[in-house]
Amino acid sequence: MMKNEKKMRDHCIRCGECCLASSPTLQMADVSLVYDGLIEKGNIYTIRVGELVRDNVKGEMKVTDKEILKIREKENGKGCVYYDEDENACTIYEDRPIQCRALACWDESEFMRVYARPKLSRRDVISDRNLLRLMAEHDKKCSYMGLEKYVRQIEKEGEEAVRTILELLKFDYKIRLLISEKLGIDAAEMDFLLGRPFTETITMFGLTVTREPDGSFFLTTSANR
Ligand code: SF4
Ligand code: SF4
In this structure, the residue with its CA closest to atom 2 of ligand 1 is 18
End-to-end Cα spacing for the chain: 33
* Count of Cβ atoms closer than 10 Å to residue 124 Cβ: 17
Atom of ligand 1 nearest to the CA of 6: 6
Segments of the chain scoring below 70 in pLDDT: 1-7, 223-225
Cα–Cα distance, 60 to 139 (Å, whole number): 25
pLDDT in tens, 45-94: 999 999 998 887 777 888 999 999 999 999 888 899 999 999 999 999 99
Q: What is the 3-state secondary structure (H, E, C) of 48-104?
A: CCCCEEEECCCCEEEECCCCEEEECECCCCCCECCEECCCCEECCHHHCCHHHHHCC
0.85 surpassed by pTM: yes
Do residues 121 and 69 touch, judged by C-beta distance below 8 A?
yes
Q: Measured from the CB, is residue 102 less than 6 Å from ligand 2?
A: no
Q: Measured from the CB, is residue 96 less than 6 Å from ligand 2?
A: yes
pLDDT of 4 reads 56
Please tell me the number of the ligand nearest to residue 25's CA: 2
CA of 18 to the centre of ligand 2 (A): 8
3-state secondary structure of 210: strand
Alpha-carbon torsion (119, 125, 129, 131), positive or negative: negative
pLDDT of 71 reads 98
Please tell me the number of the ligand nearest to residue 17's CA: 1
- φ, ψ (nearest 5 deg) of residue 40: -75, 145
Atom of ligand 1 nearest to the CA of 1: 7
Which amino acid is located at 71 in the chain? I
pLDDT of 198 reads 94
